[in-house]
Chains A and B, each alone.
Chain A
Amino acid sequence: MTRRLGRRTFLRGLGGVAVALPTLEIMLDSHGTALAGGEVLPHRFLVSFDGGALGADNDPVHNFYAPDTVGHDYDLKTALAPLSGYGNVRDDISVVSGLRIPYGTSPIPAGGWASDFHIQALGPLISGVRNSSTDDYGVNGPTADQLVAEAIGGGTTFRSLAYQVQASWYLTQSAPYGRDILSYRREGDSIVANPGQTSPRLAYQALFTGFVPPDPGDAADLLYELDKRRSVLDRVGASIDALMPQLGTADRRRMERHLDEIRDLEMRLAANPPDAGGHCQMLPDPGEDPAVGGDNASVGGDGYDVNAGWSDESTRARVFADLIHMAFTCDLTRSVAWLMTMAQSHMNIHPITDIPYDLHELGHGGGTTEDMSRVRAWHIDHFAYLVAKLRDTPEGGGSVLDRCALVHLNEAGHGFDPGSGGELSTHSTENMCCLIAGRAGGLDAGQHVVADGMHPGHVLNSAMRAVGVDQDLGEVVGRIDGLFA
């Protein structure tokens, strides 16, 4: 039987435990941005997503998100309240306000959507490419995390990572149909969805697979187990190869994609073990995942079950944040798509706000903009927690955050909805805000920048350029200069 992947003989197989090599000052060049040997410290990129709007229907207040003051030391309203914590993490995070995604039906503008908010506006938001017609609900270009992965992710164990906090769609009468997908890549002529891992436990197992334990006996067991897994995958791959000629064209395409994933997994298992040591450490096992809650169709009334539509997303988000932190610190990946809540999210928000509604219905008559802002704050708290952890992790002359560009997006702003004609609607891409954290590529973190009329894609473009990827997101061209020092 032929092996499709030449299985290399690994250093770890010969020499046992890999020696930890923490980056020491003496190894850096004079700028502290690269190792003295010329090896550049890695850049990291992240897009996180909050599937809600900033304001509530018919509330005259668009948001409690955009600060009143411009520049550094901006004021913190309800949505941004978590930024006062985590060692004043506000200084590491910039707020961009005044953003909008254009819309219209004849023609549909570049980077814009037609008229049906859910979910025509999602594709333009994450890909920068407009709907192809008024009937188009798809995503028509690769997303920023995948552009970055393509450019700088090749050398790492995980070309990119996609995690998903909201554990279920929570409506039994329908399916998400793309509302749960934040990441898309180009594959030939197709744009292919890259769904996130919803299980913290499985994400943990995948991320730390290659870490060699310090005990020589445990280390030997791990090497044996990895060898077994690769041997097994090798056989599975061979079985798919053997099956292929018996399949029709459509099935063959399915199996080719499956085989590609098997080969990628084999490569990840064969990757050199991460240089555990210093700040790169295997985290403790998070244990079993919180139970997945059930249908949330009728939240808000009598007999409402606080457990429906909730799977302890607060705990799940923390585990994922810890994994992302370590994935960046250990340079296991350089690009992450982190879906906190799905577009048009029907997650139960009672456990995080004491308001008996689901996230989506809250905006539609269930609550005020103030209520909505408390839900935004829950998302932003998780983002801030991650940013602070990266800031508190030394690397080179500074911290890991110095080489990060991390963007936090919302599904909607608040204002005019071309679909319904409503002036104060949650179904709006007016008055959008987002966050960008980190200091990669000269980002001037910790300020409020008003970018009137610019597209959220401009923030993603700025973040991409900050990590050295000089590309534009779809039809959205250029960066926001004010974000850079």
Chain B
Amino acid sequence: MRTRTYRNVAMAALGGTLVMGCYRGTPDGGLGFGTEGSGTADGGSDDGTAETPPENGGVGMVGLRRLSRTEMDHTLRDLLGDDTDPGTRFLPEDVIDPFDNDFTNQAVSTVLVESIETMANDIATRLVQDPTRRQLVVGCEPTGPADASCMEDFVGRVGRRALRRPLTTEEIEGWTQLGLDFAAQRSDFYEGVDTVLRVLLQHPSFIYRVEVGTPTAEPGVFRLDGYEVATRLSYFVWGTTPSDDLLDEAEAGGLDSPAQVAELARTMLDDPRARERIDRFHAMWLGYYALPHEAALTTSMRRETRALLDDVIFDDPRSYLDVFAAGGSYVDDTLAELYGLPAPGSDEPTWVDYGAIGRQGLLSHGSFLSVAARFGDTSPTQRGLLIRTRLLCQAIPPPPPDVDVDNPPEGGDAECKIDRYEEHRSNGSCNGCHELVDPVGFGLEQYDQMGRFRTAEADNPQCEITGEGRIDGQPFSGPAGLADYVMDNELLDSCMVHQLYRMAMGHQVGFEDLRYVNDLLTRFRGEGHRFDAVVLALVEDEAFSYRREED
């Protein structure tokens, strides 16, 4: 699988500690969705004036990106005012790895295409049955079923927004005629609207983010047009389709230079959708997007983490590292009780100082600590793995095939958990890898699988939990110690940049992307670790406006 190459390449170059060679075995298994042969770079439409590719490279390889279920939900909300989450209701589950938009994980199937058709029919039918929404979308009041000018107006305007590009004359004429034909059949203008909408909602340029651009002097590298850049920008910053304003900017040449793109991005960060997007980025990156708790507790936990991100990134913009260094949190009574803090006395959360209880920043949130539990308890191995692979972007080889990873270690039936995990340490070939993860997890062991503090095992009170951990030879205890270590050693910032890039571009980091990603990290560090700086740097890089065709 190509993705493994990507990951290793990226981390080597990012200066993250590349953990390799603790065990030489098989790579993790994945069933391929068919085998794709190799192709040639021949997507150019003409050989006219060749654009210059970015001088310092960094153009990543990308193919057609299908809208994820969530992107589809947001797109339809913004395009048609449809807030019923049609993507999630109709389309097959996305592969989450850890983001839901990696195009290399997207495969076409009967179920997919059938679901898209049913979804389009459902959306269009509901729209034309809703006079208020339909009026907003159509934008003109038809004089009758044969009102060609209203139909053409609707086709051109909604078509542009749906396909994220201007329509050709043939498209406008053809779809207007299609709409009028069906309007005539039932003497109902909106029958025509329904029909045209169904075409737009199944159109390849709606379902996929089609990037064509113009060829450059470098074979396989294309300069995106303004609309394509607007689309990249919008799905990255907002997780949804570009607004009319943004498309107008594209049309007017307002996204032709990197500085213009960055300027637009700056204003887009003021939109609530940017906050939602960044919240979602963190939830997918660190794995807490679907917590295994009851709805009320899940809401409390998600709200807590969202509040910290909003505060550090938007409301009082400062170093992003504060997300991991914060000395207090936004808790309601439920969380305060869970954490052993004085209760604010309300279901409404308030900011509370942790004091000297060992908590610090996001790593002590219930959201993060609820991830990677196993066997009804914390799993030091899984937690360590989560921290190594997700938080720090380090590669840990999978266990060899002759190891039973489905049971917790038995450790000769020792009474206490920490002694049972001795089984991992006493065996030399196990210890090679487990030494990299288990001690990291044990450093958080005083926080149970909901983030509750404890000093002894619930079922074995005689088993003390010390919370002593170790990472790269360095002792630490608890979320505060871990957060300080990963920040001080510049492991966290490089990984965050790497993960953000993956989500923005919809693929893993390959050789071609390295210059780009390294420059992002340099700017992140150079601008006091401001999160908005790295977002702006990402869209301001020349390579953001180019694509490299898959080979």
Residues of chain A having any CB pair with chain B under 8 Å: 1, 57, 114-116, 118-120, 122-123, 134-135, 137-139, 162, 168-169, 172-173, 175, 177-179, 181, 187, 189-199, 202, 205-206, 224, 228-229, 231-233, 235-236, 239-240, 243, 245-255, 257-258, 261-262, 264-265, 294-305, 308, 360-361, 363-365, 419-422, 425-427
Contact = CB atoms under 8 A, between A and B. Distances in A.
Interface string B348-377: 000000000000000000000001111111
A243 B174 contact: no
Contact of A304 (B41, B204, B220, B376): B376
Contacts of B111: 162, 195-198
A177 B30 contact: yes
A294 B291 CA distance: 7
B29 A300 contact: no
A361 B108 contact: no
A123 to B, nearest CB: 8
Contacts of B96: 172, 175
Nearest to A258: B108
Contacts of B198: 228-229, 232
B42 interface: yes
A135 B27 CA distance: 7
A111 B113 CA distance: 33
Interface in B24-65: 26-27, 29-43, 45, 63-64
A361 B377 CA distance: 13
A164 to B, nearest CB: 9
Given A138-B31, A178-B30, A235-B178, A364 B39 contact: no
Contact of B115 (A202, A252, A264): A202
B121 interface: yes
A194 B93 contact: no
Nearest to A187: B34
A233 B202 contact: yes
B25 to A, nearest CB: 9
A346 to B, nearest CB: 11
Contacts of B175: 235
Interface secondary structure of B, over-half rule: loop
A364 B406 contact: yes
A120 B29 contact: yes
B93 to A, nearest CB: 6
Given A194-B110, A253-B39, A172 B406 contact: no
A320 to B, nearest CB: 13
A240 B204 contact: yes
Contact of A173 (B41, B115, B372): B372
B138 to A, nearest CB: 18
A255 B203 CA distance: 11
Contacts of A191: 34-35
Interface stretch (B234-242, B249-257, B397-405, B425-433): B397-405
Contact of A232 (B97, B202, B205, B403): B202
Contacts of B93: 168-169, 198
A393 B29 CA distance: 44
A239 B33 contact: no
B456 to A, nearest CB: 15
B497 to A, nearest CB: 22
Contact of B110 (A229, A264, A360, A364): A264
A258 B31 contact: no
B42 A248 contact: yes
A173 B287 contact: yes
A57 B407 CA distance: 10
A119 B29 contact: yes
A193 B113 contact: no
A336 to B, nearest CB: 13
Interface residues of B, number: 86
Contact of A172 (B287, B375, B376): B287
A197 to B, nearest CB: 5
B203 A229 contact: no
Contacts of A135: 26-27
A84 to B, nearest CB: 33
A236 B39 contact: no
| CB-CB nearest 4 A-B residue pairs | A301-B376, A178-B31, A249-B39, A137-B29
Contact of A251 (B32, B38, B43): B43
A193 B107 contact: yes
A255 B115 contact: no
Contact of B113 (A175, A189, A261): A261
Given A194-B109, A251-B64, A305 B292 contact: yes
B404 A303 contact: no
B126 interface: no
Contacts of A297: 292, 371-374
B267 to A, nearest CB: 31
A177 B97 CA distance: 10
A303 B293 contact: yes
Interface in B58-99: 63-64, 90, 92-93, 95-97
A246 B30 contact: no
A258 B37 CA distance: 17
A426 B195 CA distance: 53
A138 B29 CA distance: 8
B152 interface: no
A296 B292 contact: yes
B401 A248 contact: no
B31 A298 contact: no
A217 to B, nearest CB: 13
B305 interface: no
Nearest to B377: A301
A419 B404 CA distance: 8
Contacts of B107: 193, 195
A73 B32 CA distance: 43
B182 to A, nearest CB: 6
B149 interface: no
B235 to A, nearest CB: 18
Interface in B536-551: 549-551
B500 interface: no
B458 interface: yes
Contacts of B292: 294-299, 305, 308
A419 B401 contact: yes
A363 B291 CA distance: 24
A206 B407 contact: no
A421 B108 contact: no
Residue among A1, A297, A305, A422 facing the most chain B CB atoms (10 A cut-off): A297
B401 A295 contact: no
B486 interface: no
A229 B386 contact: no
Contact of A298 (B39, B403, B449): B449
B36 to A, nearest CB: 6
B64 A255 contact: yes
A147 to B, nearest CB: 17
Contacts of B109: 193-195, 261
A190 B34 contact: yes
